[in-house]
Amino acid sequence: MNILILGSGGREHAFVYKLLQSKKINQIFVAPGNAGTHKIAKNININPTDFTAVKETILTHKIDMVVVGPEAPLVDGVHDFFLDDDELKSIPVIGPKKDGALLEGSKDFSKQFMEKHNIPTARYKSFTKENLNDGFNFLETLNPPYVLKADGLAAGKGVLILNNLEEAKAELKEMLTHQKFGEASSTVVIEEFLDGIELSVFVLTDGKSYKILPSAKDYKRIGEGDTGLNTGGMGAISPVPFASEDFLTKVEEHVVKPTINGLQKDGIDYRGFIFIGLMNVDGNPQVIEYNVRMGDPETEVILPRIESDLLDLFEGVAHQNLHEKSFKVTDKIATTVMLVSGGYPESYEKGKEILGLENIDGSIVFHAGTKLENNKVLTNGGRVMAITSLGKTINEALETSYKNIDKISFDKMNYRKDIGFDLQ
């Protein structure tokens, strides 16, 4: 089969790496891809939200299946575009249609969905500029800290957590009346603060049955000890040691099953990944958010632990016989450490040559923001590459990742030296 993967990050490189293990693969194309995917697949330099260009690629390269990495093409309706086009409608897309993608595309929608289907989540209300005063009144009924969320996609920046009531009111006003996050904050969800330990659970579903993928925890802050600004993710560990069997059973019963059943009841035919952000509050899961895609860098620790054929699982999603597919995960622990450009997540320079990649031994290098120029691998983004290792223990895996990182260098390279610090 010929597969097209949309996206350009470490997540997409990990998809290529894992899919290439399948005997059924003929060729993999990545749009637009990076220097890492260029080495093992064929990059196509188009924007994944340019659906006309995606169609041309599908027809030119006789693509049999499309796997969508990031949320933007899904929220924009890439799957619906395929179903509406006579030449594309028989080609399976791994990723939900617009209706399902709203679980990530609108926080208000996802909260209504959870409430309707009795899925545990923080108490909330939504507001627009027309009822700003009701928003102020609702804030007064809550205890600090106050959680304000822009309804729409805001590149991971749309959530504010504030300790002070006056500050929360001022930010609410900024979001609603001054469009602090543009269109995304024309509706704002205000919700109760959940106090607990955060972790994520990933599900692959064909709309009827599902497989729960290995749990993973990412390290979102730029600084050691979880300090400083939020990033896309500086590293990840799978599985999460504090996710006990008892807790994961509660997640399956109280969150996963009602989510899949709720989608069916609401007539949403969902084929793809669901990334469930959870808070463990006194041993009980509460949903913080849904994403309609895999996490990055969580994918870089989850996929290397899956022993089953990923293409076979994707075919199960496409043909709605996922329940017949075998699903095996290794007991080994996976760790990944993200190398980033100096300055990230604020401004940073690109185009720095990355040296030492030929010396890597025992780790998998997943490229994120890289490009190839004159046979040199150059930095091309904030998050540059994820160094993944497997081991019998977290320490063993981390040691391998850090030993290999010592061999890699580029100007102003930065990374966290304490990934997994809280779990050993």
Q: Which chain residues interact with ligand AMP by CB under 6 A?
A: 122, 147, 149, 159, 191, 193-194, 198, 277, 288-289
- 194 interacts with, out of ligand GLY, ligand AMP, none, CB within 5 to 8 A per kind: ligand AMP
Nearer to ligand GLY, 298 or 309 (CB): 298
Asked if 295 touches ligand GLY (CB under 6 A), the answer is: yes
Q: Choose the stretch contacting ligand GLY; rule: CB under 6 A; options: 137-145, 290-298, 302-310, 321-329.
A: 290-298
d(CA 255, CA 248) in angstroms, rounded, equals 10
Which residue among 12, 104, 108, 296 contacts ligand GLY (CB under 6 A)? 296
CA dihedral 175, 176, 178, 180 (to 10 degrees): 20
- 298 interacts with, out of ligand GLY, ligand AMP, none, CB within 5 to 8 A per kind: ligand GLY
Asked if 99 touches ligand GLY (CB under 6 A), the answer is: no
Distance (Å) of CA 198 to CA 120, 140, 152, 249: 14, 26, 22, 16
- 147 interacts with, out of ligand GLY, ligand AMP, none, CB within 5 to 8 A per kind: ligand AMP
d(CA 9, CA 7) in angstroms, rounded, equals 6
Cβ atoms of residues 372 and 40 within 8 Å:
no
In whole angstroms, how close is the CB of 240 to ligand AMP at the nearest point? 14
- 289 interacts with, out of ligand AMP, ligand GLY, none, CB within 5 to 8 A per kind: ligand AMP
Pairing mode, if any, of strands 2-7 and 27-32? parallel
- 198 interacts with, out of ligand AMP, ligand GLY, none, CB within 5 to 8 A per kind: ligand AMP
Contacts with 269 (C-beta within 8 Å, 6 or more apart), sequence order = 97, 100, 207, 263
Distance (Å) of CA 143 to CA 116, 161, 164, 180: 25, 12, 10, 24
d(CA 204, CA 223) in angstroms, rounded, equals 32
- 218 interacts with, out of ligand GLY, ligand AMP, none, CB within 5 to 8 A per kind: ligand GLY
Residue 361: CB atoms within 10 A of its CB come to: 8
Mask of contacts with ligand GLY, 185-224, x by CB under 6 A?
A: ---------------------------------x------
Give the footprint of ligand GLY on residues 303-332 (CB under 6 A). Answer: none
Number of residues that bind ligand GLY (CB under 6 A): 7
Query: Strand, helix or coil at 78?
Result: helix
Residues at the site binding ligand GLY, with contacts judged by CB under 6 A = 218, 232-233, 291, 295-296, 298
